[in-house]
């Protein structure tokens, strides 16, 4: 029988393919990504990771006691990641101050916050798994196919490390446990959230590739 996380991935196969084939990842892989394009992603993703901290903290407040320590580690990992962003920003002359979240980044964060405040713990956990799994698969695609070191190597290595891979596996196993015995209605909601996050993730690459911005 298919596990719940496998079912989610199977249902999202079409959008997943589009994510992994996105030109942002292809150009990063072959080294031809314009600096400004990568830097646009970096600035937006810095905001995303910064705002992921309150998102995960809200989930921590709803988490079963036995998962609290995992959530503390996740928050700590996000904080370490922010330092990696700041270090690379400094090295590449990227200004991370006063970044205005683009329409996609803004909408994605709002969606996550809405789930964290108004959704169940299981719904929030599903969103977390979806976002992390996309990043793992996306950066693995880059790592597997790159022929030369990239100026952005630290980002590539960050989401393809053994530690990150183990964390994403843990999310999948834990999500399967959380889904066990849940009524069909709850599982349907989790499936909807998973697909929506995957769609936002696609749009996030698109946002960076097109330098998406507000009209004024």
Task: List residues binding ligand MP5 (CB under 6 A).
Answer: 45, 48-49, 52, 78, 81, 131-132, 135, 201, 204
Minimum Å gap between C-beta 86 and ligand MP5 is: 14
State how far the Cα of 101 lies from the Cα of 43, in Å rounded to an integer.
Answer: 9
> Could you tell me the CA-to-CA distances from 130 to 36, 61, 62, 106, 151 in Å, in that order?
27, 20, 19, 18, 27
Specify whether the CB–CB gap between 37 and 211 falls below 8 A.
yes
Minimum Å gap between C-beta 203 and ligand MP5 is: 9
Output the six-digit token pair for 24.
């942002």
Angle at 82 between CA 93 and CA 112, to 5 degrees: 120
Q: What is the DSSP string of 168-196?
A: HHHHHHHHHHHHTT--HHHHHHHHHHHHH
Nearest CB to ligand MP5, comparing residues 81 and 123: 81
Minimum Å gap between C-beta 49 and ligand MP5 is: 5
Nearest CB to ligand MP5, comparing residues 101 and 119: 101
Minimum Å gap between C-beta 115 and ligand MP5 is: 14
Specify whether the CB–CB gap between 158 and 84 falls below 8 A.
yes
Q: Where are the beta strands (DSSP E) in the chain?
A: none
Minimum Å gap between C-beta 185 and ligand MP5 is: 27
Residue 39: CB atoms within 10 A of its CB come to: 19
Angle at 39 between CA 150 and CA 20, to 5 degrees: 65
Nearest CB to ligand MP5, comparing residues 171 and 179: 171
Nearest CB to ligand MP5, comparing residues 153 and 186: 153
Of 58, 48, 37, the closest CA to residue 152 belongs to 37
Minimum Å gap between C-beta 40 and ligand MP5 is: 13
Nearest CB to ligand MP5, comparing residues 53 and 187: 53
Nearest CB to ligand MP5, comparing residues 84 and 187: 84
């Amino acid at each position: 029988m298919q596990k719940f996380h496998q079912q989610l991935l199977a249902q999202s196969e079409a959008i997943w393919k589009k994510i992994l084939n996105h030109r942002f990842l292809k150009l990063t892989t072959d080294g031809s990504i314009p600096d400004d394009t990568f830097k646009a992603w970096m600035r937006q993703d810095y905001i995303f990771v910064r705002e992921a901290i309150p998102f995960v903290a809200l989930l921590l407040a709803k988490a079963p006691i036995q998962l609290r320590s995992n959530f503390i580690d996740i928050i700590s990992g996000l904080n370490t990641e922010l330092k990696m962003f700041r270090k690379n920003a400094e090295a590449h002359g990227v200004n991370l101050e006063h970044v205005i979240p683009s329409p996609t980044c803004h909408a994605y964060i709002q969606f996550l916050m809405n789930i964290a405040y108004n959704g169940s713990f299981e719904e929030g956990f599903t969103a977390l798994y979806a976002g992390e799994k996309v990043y793992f698969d996306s950066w693995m695609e880059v790592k597997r196919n790159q022929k030369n070191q990239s100026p952005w190597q630290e980002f590539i290595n960050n989401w393809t490390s053994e530690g990150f891979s183990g964390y994403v596996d843990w999310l999948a196993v834990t999500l399967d446990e959380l889904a066990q015995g849940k009524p069909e209605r709850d599982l349907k909601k989790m499936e909807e959230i998973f697909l929506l996050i995957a769609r936002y993730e696609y749009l996030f690459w698109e946002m960076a590739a097109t330098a998406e911005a507000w009209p004024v």
